[in-house]
Amino acid sequence: MNNRLRILRAERGWSQADLADRLDVSRQSVNAIETGKYDPSLPLAFRIARLFGLTIEEVFTDEDASAAKAAE
């Protein structure tokens, strides 16, 4: 799963630690999610989207769905 977390964070001038504090997770967790090495649970994904005032689909994109759409 891809995400725009790093871009969204940079737009607001937040460090990973700032975002971690806002989400009540560790900085290492933010890094793991940002780099796509950990897919967050649905509740955490909702929390992330809510924090940025976006929908989940605007933050996270499903690689398989994108590939299927491109193939059509």
Partner 1 sequence: MTAKRTKAVTPLWRWQVLAAIFVLAITLTGAAPRAHPLLVVLVGGALIVGLFLLGVRAWRGLDEVAREAQKTACMWGARIGAGVNFILVLMLVVSGGAWLPAHLSPQMYVVLGIGASALPMIVAYQIYWSVWWLKRR
Longest dimension (CA), the chain: 41
The answer to whether 34 and 62 are in contact (CB under 8 A) is: no
Size of residue set near partner 1 by CB under 8 A = 20
Identify residue 38 by its one-letter amino acid code: Y
Residue 4 gets which letter from DSSP?
-
Asked if 23 and 47 count as a contact pair (C-beta separation under 8 A), the reply is yes
Question: Given candidates 20, 49, 51, 54, which one binds partner 1 under the rule CB under 8 A?
Answer: 20
Closer CB to partner 1, residue 41 or residue 70?
A: 41
Nearer to partner 1, 21 or 52 (CB): 21
Binding site for partner 1 (CB under 8 A): 17-18, 20-22, 24-29, 31-33, 35, 37-38, 40-41, 44
